[in-house]
């Protein structure tokens, strides 16, 4: 389900950009892109709404920031606990952070019946 709320009057609702479900595993995502910068900034409120939605979805959910910098890297998925907090209390994902993020194949594997822990994909 894709439900982007950027610029809409639904800022107060807990609504992530993307929700995907496979084999009972729920992926809750905020989507961010940048082609001109090596850093993507994310408002604290956006991170918290993804965290809250995933909490409500249950223990088999995973809250992520989906980032796209360029075609060479493609889409990467950064778990919320791997985000870097800014001095202002918001978050950031650098190109280098994204390079260490999960790829789509990892999400597919993570949703397989026999794999349940994110630590399987840690650095």
Q: How many CB atoms lie within 10 A of CB 49?
A: 22
Q: Residue 29 burial by CB count (10 A; 0-12/13-18/19+): exposed, middle or buried?
A: buried
The residues that are catalytic are 6
């Amino acid at each position: 389900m894709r439900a982007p709320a950027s610029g809409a009057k639904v800022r107060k609702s807990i609504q992530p950009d993307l929700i995907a479900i496979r084999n009972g595993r729920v992926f809750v995502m905020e989507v961010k892109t940048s082609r001109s910068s090596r850093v993507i900034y994310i408002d604290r409120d956006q991170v918290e709404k993804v965290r809250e939605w995933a909490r409500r979805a249950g223990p088999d959910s995973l809250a992520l920031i989906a980032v796209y910098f360029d075609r060479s890297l493609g889409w990467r998925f950064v778990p919320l606990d791997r985000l870097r907090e800014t001095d202002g209390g918001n978050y950031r994902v650098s190109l280098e952070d994204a390079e260490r993020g999960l790829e789509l194949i990892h999400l597919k594997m993570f949703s397989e019946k026999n794999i349940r822990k994110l630590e399987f994909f840690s650095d």
